[in-house]
Amino acid sequence: MKKFVSLSFKSLLKKLFVGEHFTFYESSIIAPLLSIIAGLPSLGGIFSALQAVFAKEDQLYKLSLAAFQTQEIHLMHEKRLSYFYFFRECVHIIKYDNDPALAYAIAKLEFLLNTYVNLPNENYYDQTGAMTNFLQDCGTGDNLAAIQLLTATQLFNLTQVVAKGKAANDTFKVLYEARAVDKEHVSQIGKLSEVRFDVDSVFDAFVDAVNVAWTSNEIGAKDPAVHNKLLEVREVINAGIHQAELTLARRSRHKIKDDNNTDDGTQTPITPPTPPPPGTQQPNTDRPDASQTTQNPTDEPHHLDPNEHPAMGERKADEQKKEDEKKKDEEKK
């Protein structure tokens, strides 16, 4: 039998980040349902239970923000991530030069970046480890040789990008670990994850109660006022779920497209690029306009001027076009 309110949201809520989970309940569920539930006495008890357990999440979420998301840590997190974005963008731009002598180096670095495709979307702790591993990989073997070769083109100083990225990541680790030493803060994060599970469980029970109330009224009392109120409840829940889906969709746009993902979420192994045959012509680094195209990273290296390289302008235009098309699709829905 088809449920009045679908329970398909259960897996969705597990994918939300801490802040997204908090906002879902605070803004999309509890606040808009307050006045509606007042007219449905049969749901008052379970809704009060949802409010009570969410109040704990509210408290612990604010404690976790105070402990781990200080302005200093957040700014250093943004800075280290900006070097990763800049490195990735540089590789994409140099690729547009279509220099055969650079093909193998570019392929190696694209292979490296694909390994860390989800790095920007990890939490602070996991991202620190991933960033450390990425920077270590940049300094070894063929990756190091590729970075040095592309730096020699004088288009971008990738060697300096890696060095500054490492310095920012090391500073972040010092700041973050200083906060994590506080056992009280660490325990608060643990409690938050437990309370989040409790909130989802009570919300499941609330939705079940809504379905029972709907069936009971449609079969028995057939009260039109209850009928209309329950329709409002369903509308609020469905709107909240839809907003959560959009949140996850927007987050996914920041990921590098990976066509090697299988249906079960794992990645198909990728064959590393084959080195060029001996005697391949090396890039000409004595370009007449090299001084005009040199680009070194600044403190905010991810803010690039599209006019500095024609390929960047084309890339930005394509991204804007895709963004406009997605907005139109969402409006149609």
pLDDT score, position 197: 92
Nearest by Cα to 103 from 153, 141, 137: 153
183-216 and 224-252 helices cross at what angle (nearest 10)? 140
Structure-token pair, residue 4: 């009045």
Strands of the chain, DSSP E: none
Q: In the chain, where are the structural domains located?
A: 10-68+182-252, 71-181+292-299+306-332
Residue 295 and residue 273: Cα distance in Å, rounded?
Answer: 27
* Radius of gyration of the chain from its Cα atoms, rounded to whole angstroms: 26
| Cβ–Cβ under 8 Å, residues 240 and 24 | yes
| Cβ–Cβ under 8 Å, residues 47 and 236 | no
pLDDT score, position 45: 95
CA end-to-end distance (rounded Å), the chain: 26
Q: What residues are paired with 295 via a beta bridge? A: 156
Nearest by Cα to 63 from 197, 192, 200: 192
Cβ burial 246-284 (10 Å sphere, 16+ → b, else e): ebeeeeeeeeeeeeeeeeeeeeeeeeebeebeeeeeebe
Enter the pTM of the model: 0.46
- What is the amino acid identity at position 39? G
Task: Show the low-confidence residues of the chain (pLDDT under 50).
Answer: 256-270, 283-312
